[in-house]
Amino acid sequence: MELGWRSTAIVTGLAAVTVVVQLTVASQVGLFGAELNIVPVTVAACGFFAGPVGGAAAGFASGAFLDFLSGATAGVSSLVLTLLGFAVGRWRELRDPGNTLVALPLGAAAVFAYGAGFTAVSFLLDPGDVARVSWLLARDLVAGALLGAAAGLPLFALVRKVLRPVLAVDPLERRRRREIRRTGPVGLRGLDI
């Protein structure tokens, strides 16, 4: 991603819109008691398309907006989402997947990692609050991961469309194969005929 004011404005705007949609609409959608969480999926998509720095920036902005608008402990979501965005961006740099279906496992893994990380950091900051850590948490994490996988494809497509003007390289762009070089018969190579 090209660093500049335009990319910063696009990532910040995407983070703000995602958090507002999460707090107003997406939190109403549920499965087995878990709610749809589009913020970690969007941060994972930003990390996938924009790289580790863009993913970390999207994670920090989304986490800051989420913490301040929801009234949660300031910094917990920012920390977890920054690490999530950076990790997904770094994974994309090392593995370079070129398949659009990567959004399904990344969406599920992002929601699962965000839920587990948020719970761990919240528990470390307030160890007296043991009520959040129970077997129901595992059920909520798995159900949330399923919802994250379902939301992965449309959110990845939307984030790709929004970030496309500032991307240096689109990881899902089809690479052209080199043109096959025409050669003569095998027996006449090297004879300069």
Per-domain residue ranges of the chain:
5-168
**Tens-digit pLDDT profile for residues 57-107:** 999 999 999 989 888 778 889 999 999 999 999 998 888 776 778 888 999
How far, in Å, CA of 134 to CA of 29, rounded?
A: 23
Name the fold adopted by 5-168.
Answer: Arp2/3 complex 21 kDa subunit ARPC3 (1.10.1760)
**Tens-digit pLDDT profile for residues 26-45:** 877 777 778 888 999 999 99
How far, in Å, CA of 26 to CA of 12, rounded?
A: 19
Grouping H, G, I as helix, E, B as strand and the rest as coil, residue 89 is helix
How far, in Å, CA of 43 to CA of 191, rounded?
A: 59
Query: Closest Cα to residue 12, out of 48, 59, 51, 50?
Result: 59
How far, in Å, CA of 99 to CA of 121, rounded?
A: 33
